[in-house]
Amino acid sequence: MPAHVLIASVVAIVASGASPQGQESAGQPPALHWAIKLGMRVEQVNRAFPLVDRVVLVPDGATYVDELSKWSPQGRWPVLIEDDHLAPMFIRRFKPAQVVRRTSVGRFGPSQQDRQRLLEAVVVRSWGGEPHQDTLREVFERSNHTPAGLVITSVADPAWTAAIALAAGRGQPIAWLNERFGRPNQLLDPESLARLLGRIDELLAESGYPYADLGDAIDAITFCRAVAGRADVDPDSKRDEVRAITDLIGRTRTGTRNAFAGWIFGDEVRCAYIAMCSMFLPRTQIWLYNTYPGTGNWRVYGVGDATAALADKGYQASAFSGDRTTSDAWMNMLPGGIATDVLVMNTMGSAGLFRLSRGRAYSGDVPVLNEPLALHLTHSWSMRSPDNLATIGGQWLARGVYAFVGAADEPFLGAFLPPVELAKRWANYVPFLIAARHFSDSGPWKVNTFGDPLMLCPPPEPSARQRVEPPASEGLDLSEHVTKLMRHAASDQTGDTIAEAIATLNLLGKDDIAIQMWRLAGQHGLLAAAARPSAGPLFRAQRVDDYIAAWQAMPYRDQLSSDMLWHLMTPRLGPAIDNDTLILLQSAIRKPRSHVDLQRLAPHLTAVFGLAHTRRIIQRELENTTNPQAIRNLQRLLNRN
């Protein structure tokens, strides 16, 4: 490890009451806090393996494992299961020299045991071992490596894609937990919770590494599988005894913290993306967004000092407060999407809405992300139902957030650290999620941490991790492929070639050329074929008329394309809006929060088409809605019109 990392300054963690371990003696530097040492252990692993300047896209889980099996001490590179949302976001931020697409190698292993052995072999091989001869512990010992964490997963859960990558990339043992413990939006009962925590303790013991105290070996648990996000630790109590699952995991039987947990769930595509973002993306651009008043306890959560502290360490830090955090300012930020590495956001509200310094916004107003994002959100209830798009947390995760600190319940303000303390910890190599926790706590509380618990957010350093030129690889080079597609696009009257060319350009982050191909499609009468792959580039370029044309030509629309339409058009709602656009938005009202779209649209519909028309539209939504909360909201809206 480079010397400048070893002598990093000790963080004064005043807010949590923690202090560096060890005593100073005359002429001796202060002992580093265990959390900083943990981050240094992670950074040492990061720098030990060359980063190959390539992204490999695979079509399925079996090919994903096959590609990861090529990782070795000579190099590693991002591997993504290809899709048209998350993979392009990653590539736009990573900016690789080469993007390669592989064809499928066939089906995954037939049995659970076969799959487990196959995944364990990937970890052994990535550290220079031979799976048929070496155990993972033997491989680690030859490398003088002590794991900083344990990865827990199940081959029956799609989050195994994150588990295997983080085990290999971070140098962690992998443990198997196949019992079911609920779904992310559910509440776990005390008996099931006790069984879960007991099994985790057994897995930690079976790892063979010290884990009883912070600062020993295992200080992090990466929990890669579905589980209930909250637990009721005492249903018979008259008090609210709901706790966040990641604050319950990583404690001894007496409740003392001995590790910090990060939770990853979702489909194979998203979970692979989360792992690759955590290991390979920089986090140097940070936005700090504060809607709190500058008085009382709220003042501590101001972002001015944090912005200055981050800028002093070389981050690109931007502060948003006051008039920059009104509802109008928020809506004006939505067209085209946003791109920053980290967002620290302080708002009030509930699971489905967030109050701004003036006005409010809703889950459907969560920005479209152009690049992957790590999020620290001081806001009650945001992660109450993290697998529900009607909630703020669910929407942020669907957008492409890969690390998230958020509340599973009402935790009160003091559960979150002030932004300035986060800034100090991150700059001193304390892992992103762990830095958000109080180190001297009184027991589990209500904040969940989603993502890789060993992910760092270190200061920008040009020499930190240099990329190496990609060697020859099997697969299709997409830069070469898209050149051939563009040559033949105009001659293919089916539109398939031009659609594939635009989709590939979108994947490679070449929006300007994709828009040129969109225009070519229009000249040849092929808009229907080109519409869906063109949506992202047109949205990011804020080409409103072109996006509307694409929307109208799409053979089908998903939630993201609907959100893009509304994000482009909401700031334009006003007296000057034309009738055709009003009809378009009326046809694109989004569920399950249709009352929000109708509330914004109603005055303009009434002004142009009359009150009876507006009431008919609201009544139509009422008749097509079964959600009780949505029915109540729509009925209130109808009564006001």
- Among candidate residues 472, 435, 431, 471, the one with its CA nearest the CA of residue 454: 431
Q: In Å, how far are 19, 32, 311, 427 from 12, measured between CA atoms?
A: 7, 11, 18, 12
CB 222 within 8 A of CB 403: no
Residue 109 has pLDDT above 80, yes or no: no
> Could you give the CA distance from residue 310 to residue 420 in angstroms, rounded to a whole number?
9
Q: Hey, where are the domains in the chain?
A: 3-43, 47-276, 282-444
Burial track 49-66 (b if 16+ CB lie within 10 A, e otherwise): bbbbbbbbbbebbbbbbb
CB 273 within 8 A of CB 373: no
> Could you give the CA distance from residue 177 to residue 445 in angstroms, rounded to a whole number?
24
Which token pair is 140?
């680690």
In tens, the pLDDT along 138-154 reads: 999 999 999 999 999 99
- Among candidate residues 204, 200, 257, the one with its CA nearest the CA of residue 437: 257
In tens, the pLDDT along 78-87 reads: 999 999 999 9
Residue 344 has pLDDT above 90, yes or no: yes
Q: In Å, how far are 58, 181, 306 from 525, measured between CA atoms?
A: 32, 53, 53
Q: How many residues does the chain have?
A: 641
In tens, the pLDDT along 216-227 reads: 999 999 999 999
CB 405 within 8 A of CB 399: no
CB 352 within 8 A of CB 380: no
CB 451 within 8 A of CB 264: yes
Amino acid 231: pLDDT: 97
What is the SS3 string spanning 570-630? HHHCCCCCCHHHHHHHHHCCCCCCHHHHHHHHHHHHHHHHCHHHHHHHHHHHHHCCCCHHH
Residue 19 has pLDDT above 80, yes or no: no
CB 268 within 8 A of CB 251: no
Q: Which residues contact 587 (CB under 8 A, 6 or more apart)?
A: none
For residue 464, what pLDDT band results from cuts at 50, 70 and 90?
A: low
Amino acid 442: pLDDT: 82
CB 219 within 8 A of CB 170: no
Residue 58 has pLDDT above 80, yes or no: yes
Which token pair is 405?
């600190």
Query: From the centroid of its chain, how far is CA 552?
Result: 30
Q: In Å, how far are 11, 30, 85, 250, 474 from 20, measured between CA atoms?
A: 8, 8, 43, 21, 49
Is 3.40.50.1460 the CATH number for 282-444?
yes
In tens, the pLDDT along 607-641 reads: 999 999 999 999 999 999 988 888 999 999 999 99
In tens, the pLDDT along 422-436 reads: 999 999 999 999 999
- The crossing angle, in degrees rounded to 10, of helices 611-623 and 628-640 is 170
Amino acid 29: pLDDT: 62
CB 591 within 8 A of CB 625: yes
Mean pLDDT (whole number) for 267-295: 97
10-19, 395-404, 493-502: range with lowest mean pLDDT: 10-19
Higher pLDDT, residue 620 or 239 = 620
Amino acid 145: pLDDT: 97
Residue 208 has pLDDT above 90, yes or no: yes
Q: Is 76 helix (H, G, I), strand (E, B) or coil?
A: strand
Amino acid 629: pLDDT: 87
Strands (E), 72-224: 79-81, 98-101, 149-153, 174-176, 187-188, 220-224
Q: Residue for token digits 């892992």?
A: 431
Amino acid 28: pLDDT: 58
> Could you give the CA distance from residue 67 to residue 164 in angstroms, rounded to a whole number?
12
**For 596, how many CA atoms within 13 A lie in the half-sphere containing its CB?**
17
Amino acid at 533: P
Beta-strand relationship, 98-101 and 476-477: antiparallel
What value does the mean pLDDT of the chain take? 93
What is the largest distance, in Å, between two alpha-carbon atoms of the chain? 83
For residue 401, what pLDDT band results from cuts at 50, 70 and 90?
A: very high
**Percent of residues, the chain, with pLDDT higher than 70:** 95
Residue 293 has pLDDT above 60, yes or no: yes
Phi and psi angles of residue 348, each rounded to the nearest 5 degrees, phi first: -110, 165
Residue 516 has pLDDT above 70, yes or no: yes
Amino acid 592: pLDDT: 84
- Among candidate residues 42, 37, 31, 44, the one with its CA nearest the CA of residue 1: 44
Amino acid 16: pLDDT: 37
Residue 275 has pLDDT above 80, yes or no: yes
> Could you give the CA distance from residue 563 to residue 342 in angstroms, rounded to a whole number?
22
In tens, the pLDDT along 521-544 reads: 999 999 999 999 999 999 999 999
Mean pLDDT (whole number) for 269-283: 98
Higher pLDDT, residue 18 or 284 = 284
Q: Is 3 helix (H, G, I), strand (E, B) or coil?
A: helix
